[in-house]
Structures are given as C-alpha cells and as structure tokens.
Structure 1
Amino acid sequence: MTEPTYTVSFWLRKILVPIDGSENSFRALDLAIDFAMRYGSQISVIHVCEECNEQAIKEKVEKRVNGRVDYEFKIIKYSSKESSISNEILRFLSENSYDAVILGARGLSINSDINIGSIALSISVNAPTTVILVR
C-alpha cells in the first residue's frame, strides 16, 4: 500500500467562488469549504450585482460556512450598460491569482431545461484557470 499524496492541495490553494444566491452556487461553496477543510485551501467568495442587498447575501454565506473555515467575502458592483456579471468575474480573475473557480452550473435562470447557464458557460470557456461546475 502506498502513502497518500496531497497533489490536490497544490492544485487548489486559492479558490474563487462566485455566489448569486442560487442553491447551485451554495453547493459550489460547500465543495470549496470541503476542499478548505481537507487541503487547507483559501476561499474567496464574490457576489457580482448591479443593485445589491449586501447584508442578505453575506448572512446567507456566513450561515452556510458556519465558522468551519476562514474566507474572504467581496461585493463587486457593476453597471449592465458597461459590463456583465461574467465579464466582472473574469476581470476579477485576471487581476488576482486563483488556482480554481468553483461555481454553480446554473444560477437563478427561470428555464429549468437549461443544463448550464450563460455565466457558467462564459466562465468555463474564458477563465485562465481550472473551473469546476457544480450541479
């Protein structure tokens, strides 16, 4: 029997988790929390919005994390006339160094027949790092 390796811990040192309030985004946060607990990953949670209810989303994140790990939380405000949610996430990724992005495959879209949302698709195609989609 061979000794376990911790190669995964090097792949997932810094993880970005975009949250939109959907259940899939919180499942993505759960996965990031698990990686942090197992491998010591650092988690950054971002919420990109035009008109934000900062306190409500922060409370939901805190409730989900429940003190299990340390994390950084950031609100990114944008104007839909000048940018998009996916552009803001990609900009944040390019300005910061992350080993992985973990996000929900579908956000708050109404059509449940869609397997992957437009934001998740854009991030997975354009991100300069590993992307994990959670369903």
Structure 2
Amino acid sequence: MNEPSYSISFWLRRILVPVDGSENSLRALDLAVDFGMRYGSRITIVHVCNDCSDVNDIQSLIEKRVNNKIKYDLKIIKINVNESSVSNEILKIINEEPYDAIIMGARGTSLNSDINIGSTALAVSINAPVSVILVR
C-alpha cells in the first residue's frame, strides 16, 4: 500500500490572507488556518487600512478565529487612498515576498450585498502572479 502524498502542501507553503473584518475575509482566514494545521502552511495575515482606527478590533477578530491553532505573522499597512489602494498594496506584497497563494474573501465590507465579487478581490485575482482562492 502506498503512503499518502501531500503534494498540495508544496503548492501552499506560504499563504497571504488579507483581512478587512468582513465575514468573508474571516472565513478565508478559517480556510488558511485549516491549511496551516493540515499542511504546515506559513500564514501571513495582512490588514490594509486608511485611518487604521479599527486595528485593535481586527486583531481581536483574528485572535478569536485563529485561537492559538497556528503561528502567523500579522502585517498592518497604512495607506493614503489618494496614492494607493488595498488591491495595489496586496499585489505589492505578493511581488516583493515569495508567497504561493492568496486566500481572501470574495466580497469585503462594501454596502451593496448584490455584488458577488468586490473590486479588491477582482483586482487581486486578475493581477496576482500566484494562485488566488476566493471565499464566499
């Protein structure tokens, strides 16, 4: 009998997870945590913000979801919305550091619930040079 193969673990060694506090982004975090527990993936969580007044709330949400199941890195990136965007910052991280995949929510905190995929998820999924998993 052959031993099980975990070739998927080589596809998902380093995962970037953008979190904005939306339920979709937290479900994406849940998936990344599961990959981390199953395959030993190294997880980096990124929160890109304009005024960053919600950082403590985001950190609390992350801690509740991760619940000491895995170790992770957290990056808080403050941007000026006149000079950059959330999607640009996520793509910049992906191009500067060696990640294998991005796991992110399909929709963020936008008010229009009729939209199936948000502008940030769309821009990242089209332009990222790595695999992107969108979570709904």
Q: TM-score range by the shorter chain?
A: over 0.9
Q: Which residue of 2 aligns with 1:78?
A: 79
Deviations 1:82-130 (A, max 9, x none): 0111001111111111000000001111111111100000000000100
- The CA deviation at 1:3 is 3.1
State the number of aligned residues: 135
| Aligned-partner residue type, residue 86 of structure 2 | I
The TM-score with structure 2 as length reference comes to 0.96
Q: Which residue of 2 aligns with 1:40?
A: 40
C-alpha separation in 2, matches of 1:25 and 1:2: 37
Deviations 1:40-80 (A, max 9, x none): 00000000000112222111101110000000011000001
The TM-score with structure 1 as length reference comes to 0.97
C-alpha separation in 2, matches of 1:109 and 1:50: 15
Decide which moves more: 26-35 or 53-62.
Answer: 53-62
The share of aligned pairs that are identical, in percent, is 63
Unaligned runs of 5+ in 1: none
Q: Runs in 1 of length 4+ with deviation above 2 angstroms?
A: none
RMSD (CA atoms): 0.9
C-alpha separation in 1, matches of 2:107 and 2:78: 21
Q: Which residue of 2 aligns with 1:15?
A: 15
C-alpha separation in 2, matches of 1:21 and 1:56: 8
Unaligned runs of 5+ in 2: none
